[in-house]
Structure 1
Amino acid sequence: MKDTLNYLFTGNNLTQEQARDVLTQIAEGKYTDAEIAAFLTVYRMRLVKAEELIGFREALLDLCVKVDFSEFDTIDVVGTGGDGKNTFNISTASCFVIAGAGYKVTKHGNYGLSSVSGASNMFEYFGYKFSNDVDKLRREVDEIGICFFHAPLFHPAMKNVGPVRRALKVRTLFNMMGPIINPCSPKNQLVGVSDLQIMDLYNQVFKDGDQSYMLVHALDGYDEVSLTGDTRYIDNGMEDNLSPDDFGFSVLTPEELSGGATIEDAAAIFKNIMNATATEAQMNVVIANAALAIKCMHPGKTLSDCVAEANESLKGKKALAVFTKLMNSN
Structure 2
Amino acid sequence: MNVNGIFNQLLNHEELTREQTKEILIGITKSELNDAEISALLTAIQMRGITVDELLGFRDGILETGLSVPLAADRYIDVVGTGGDRKNTFNISTTSCFVIAGAGYKVAKHGNYAATSVSGASNVIANHGVKFTDDIDKLNRCLDECGIVYLHAQLFAKAMKFVGPIRKALPFPTFFNLLGPIINPSKPQCQLLGTATLDQMRLYNQVYQRLGIDYGIVNSVDGYDEISLTDDFKVTTNNYEKVFKPSDLGFDYAKPEEVVGGATEDEAKQIFDNVLANKALPAQKNIVLANAAFGIQVLEKGQKDVSECIDIARESIDSGRALATFKKFVELNS
In which range does the TM-score fall when normalised by the shorter chain? Answer: over 0.9
Helix, strand or coil at the partner of 1:108: strand
1:305 partner amino acid: E
1:278 — aligned with what?
280
Helix, strand or coil at the partner of 2:50: coil
Task: Determine which of 324, 327, 331 is the counterpart of 1:324.
Answer: 327
Q: Per the alignment, do residues 169 and 144 of structure 1 end up closer, same or farther by CA in structure 2, a change over 3 Å counting?
A: farther
Structure 1 unaligned spans of 5+: none
Helix, strand or coil at the partner of 1:207: helix
Q: Summarize the alignment of residues 193-208 of structure 1 with structure 2, pairs less than 5 Å apart.
A: 193-208=195-210
Q: Report the aligned-residue RMSD.
A: 1.4
Tell me how far 1:167 sits from its aligned partner. Answer: 2.2
Tell me how far 1:114 sits from its aligned partner. Answer: 2.0
1:184 partner amino acid: S
The separation in 2 between residues aligned to 1:70 and 1:193, in whole angstroms, is 29
Task: Determine which of 149, 154, 157 is the counterpart of 2:156.
Answer: 154
The separation in 1 between residues aligned to 2:275 and 2:239, in whole angstroms, is 32
Helix, strand or coil at the partner of 2:234: strand
The separation in 1 between residues aligned to 2:50 and 2:258, in whole angstroms, is 34
Helix, strand or coil at the partner of 2:315: helix
The separation in 1 between residues aligned to 2:266 and 2:123, in whole angstroms, is 10
Contact 1:28 1:157 (C-alpha < 8 Å) held by counterparts: no
Helix, strand or coil at the partner of 2:159: helix
2:331 partner amino acid: N
2:187 partner amino acid: S
1:322 partner amino acid: T
Tell me how far 1:72 sits from its aligned partner. Answer: 3.1
2:176 — aligned with what?
174
Q: Summarize the alignment of residues 119-134 of structure 1 with structure 2, pairs less than 5 Å apart.
A: 119-134=121-136
Helix, strand or coil at the partner of 2:218: strand
The separation in 2 between residues aligned to 1:61 and 1:139, in whole angstroms, is 23
Q: Deviations over 1:160-197 (max 9, x none)?
A: 11111222254221111010011111111101111111
2:26 — aligned with what?
24
Contact 1:232 1:241 (C-alpha < 8 Å) held by counterparts: yes
The separation in 1 between residues aligned to 2:5 and 2:210, in whole angstroms, is 31
TM value normalised by structure 2 = 0.95
The separation in 2 between residues aligned to 1:295 and 1:20, in whole angstroms, is 33
Helix, strand or coil at the partner of 1:208: helix
Contact 2:108 2:151 (C-alpha < 8 Å) held by counterparts: yes
Q: Per the alignment, do residues 173 and 56 of structure 1 end up closer, same or farther by CA in structure 2, a change over 3 Å counting?
A: same
Tell me how far 1:70 sits from its aligned partner. Answer: 5.4
Tell me how far 1:47 sits from its aligned partner. Answer: 2.1
Q: Deviations over 1:236-271 (max 9, x none)?
A: 163211111121101112111001122112111111
2:298 — aligned with what?
296
Contact 2:72 2:140 (C-alpha < 8 Å) held by counterparts: no
Q: Deviations over 1:185-234 (max 9, x none)?
A: 11111011111111111111111323111111111111111111111111
1:66 — aligned with what?
68
Tell me how far 1:3 sits from its aligned partner. Answer: 3.5
The separation in 2 between residues aligned to 1:31 and 1:220, in whole angstroms, is 40
The separation in 1 between residues aligned to 2:85 and 2:157, in whole angstroms, is 24
Q: Summarize the alignment of residues 134-145 of structure 1 with structure 2, pairs less than 5 Å apart.
A: 134-145=136-147
Contact 2:62 2:158 (C-alpha < 8 Å) held by counterparts: no
1:104 — aligned with what?
106
Q: Deviations over 1:77-132 (max 9, x none)?
A: 00000111110100000000000000000000111112111101111111111111
Tell me how far 1:291 sits from its aligned partner. Answer: 0.4
Overall identity of the aligned pairs, in %? 48
2:287 partner amino acid: V
Helix, strand or coil at the partner of 1:161: helix
Tell me how far 1:69 sits from its aligned partner. Answer: 1.9
The separation in 2 between residues aligned to 1:162 and 1:79, in whole angstroms, is 20
1:211 — aligned with what?
213
Q: Summarize the alignment of residues 34-45 of structure 1 with structure 2, pairs less than 5 Å apart.
A: 34-45=36-47
The separation in 1 between residues aligned to 2:84 and 2:140, in whole angstroms, is 31
Tell me how far 1:35 sits from its aligned partner. Answer: 1.5
1:167 partner amino acid: A
Tell me how far 1:280 sits from its aligned partner. Answer: 0.5
The separation in 2 between residues aligned to 1:110 and 1:230, in whole angstroms, is 28
Contact 1:203 1:237 (C-alpha < 8 Å) held by counterparts: no
Tell me how far 1:315 sits from its aligned partner. Answer: 2.2
Q: Per the alignment, do residues 54 and 237 of structure 1 end up closer, same or farther by CA in structure 2, a change over 3 Å counting?
A: farther
2:314 partner amino acid: N
